[in-house]
Amino acid sequence: MFGQYEGIFDVYEAEELAEKYYSVIRYGPGCCGTDGNAGFEVKWDGEYPNQNDWVEVMGILEEYEENGYHYLRIAIDSLTVLPVRGAETVYQ
């Protein structure tokens, strides 16, 4: 599935795995901090933008396996840092 969306570029470092995970998200309602975020993990062969940059990504939804678990992520074909931010928090 091919898709395009905008959001906040985020980085999560899993110290126990010595891995970094990248995502494009928007904040959503939640009861406990960031539990209501919406977005996808992303994979990009180019240089990643800065954390908290507002980006537009285009790519293919893919499934991958890690440590016996299956996950979804966007394999990015195009990534653009945008000069104007959209709505960071979404409710619907």
Please indicate, yes or no, if residue 69 is contained in any of the structural domains: yes
14: pLDDT confidence band, cut at 50, 70 and 90? confident
Segments forming the whole domain that contains residue 46 = 2-81
How does strand 69-81 pair with strand 38-43? Answer: parallel
Q: What is the pLDDT of residues 24-56, one digit of tens each?
A: 999 887 776 556 788 999 999 999 999 999 999
In a domain, 12, yes or no: yes
- Looking up residue 23, the CATH number of its domain turns out to be 2.40.50.140
Per-residue pLDDT tens digits for 52-76: 999 999 999 999 999 899 999 999 9
> Total structural domains in the chain?
1
- Considering the domain boundaries, does residue 92 fall inside one? no
pLDDT for residue 34 = 57
User: pTM for the full model?
Assistant: 0.86
Instruction: Let me know if residue 88 belongs to a domain.
Output: no
Instruction: Tell me how far apart the alpha carbons of residues 32 and 22 are, in angstroms, rounded to a whole number.
Output: 21
Closest by Cα among 19, 22, 2, 3 to 11: 22
